[in-house]
Amino acid sequence: MKTIQFREAICEAMSEEMRRDESVYLMGEEVAEYNGAYKASKGMLDEFGPKRVIDTPIAELGFAGIAVGSTMTGNRPIVEYMTFNFSLVGIDQIINNAAKIRQMSGGQFKCPIVFRGPTASAGQLGATHSQAFENWFANTPGLKVVVPSNPYDAKGLLKAAIRDDDPVIFMESEQMYGDKGEVPEGEYVLPIGVAEIKRKGDDVTIVSFGKIIKEAYKAADELEKEGISCEIIDLRTVRPMDRKTIIESVKKTNRLVVLEEAWPFGSVATEITYSVQAEAFDYLDAPVVKLNTADTPAPYSPVLLKEWLPNSDDVIQAVKKVLYQ
């Protein structure tokens, strides 16, 4: 094993797949000459050249369309958005073309494409640069949505996403690119659609994904001091969702808290809550509690932003609520 940063895990995954398959290429704003806005493509222009690592204008709709069209001629593009907030400019290409080419062509065309970049908040970036759209994309048949929380998962899942014959939304975080973690020296690929139990426990199940899961780990450490054992599931893939792992855990712990950095209405947490009440209602000893951001645009003020985001104290309070403490 070796220890690398999250950004290095992303770079390694893309580079390894580009060496393996000449049809894979990377395009986006500042991915080439600048080595990526977050240095996630450092050195790739030097290795693969300007035909496979392509700097684009600030025109998300345009380069998303070029990439989608290129899949129909045998290419496997990786499209980097500087943030998924900017994907809204190109969302027509994602929802109406990438997600539907296979069905609307009667199976004549597949669309092997990865749209990747950071999601959710990253400090004081204001309301329009602090949004999480995992649930938007996950609502769309034809798209897969992956949200890793650490370098190991990021590398293994990105390699799987690049090899996938369907479009994959791969969501990262500006605040995770510097995170360090162990990854194998050799090649490995992780399956899309499989959650992982990151911490075993008996008293309550906590489900989360992406960078906000760190708050669950903090809460679990504090709760352990009080004799409360938390089982933490990292969803890793929002769609397809690994409902089985969640259900089996809830059947063991009989309680569920869902932690998600997104608005509460129609969220991923809402879908998980529905699934659990539908498939494990008789196992629940308390109502499910879901923790989301406040139901407002993200504030710029650091004081308000702290209140807007769910944190470890909120998780502790939620766990004690489902335990009736």
Enzyme catalytic residues? 60, 129
The CA-atom distances, in angstroms, between 121 and each of 30, 39, 43 are 21, 19, 27
Residues 6+ apart with CB under 8 A from 90: 60, 61, 62, 63, 64, 65, 81
The CA-atom distances, in angstroms, between 284 and each of 202, 207, 253, 277, 323 are 13, 15, 8, 8, 11
Secondary structure (H, E, C), the chain: CEEEEHHHHHHHHHHHHHHHCCCEEEEECCCCCCCCCCCCCCCHHHHHCCCCEEECCCCHHHHHHHHHHHHCCCCEEEEECCCCCHHHHHHHHHHHHHCCHHHHCCCCCCCCCEEEEECCCCCCCCHHHCCCCHHHHHCCCCCEEECCCCHHHHHHHHHHHHHCCCCEEEEECCCCCCCEEEECCCCCCCCCCCCEEEECCCCEEEEECHHHHHHHHHHHHHHHHCCCCEEEEECCEEECCCHHHHHHHHHHHCCEEEECCCCCCCCHHHHHHHHHHHHCHHHCCCCCEEECCCCCCCCCCHHHHHHHCCCHHHHHHHHHHHCCC
203 burial (CB, 10 Å; 0-12 / 13-18 / 19+) is middle
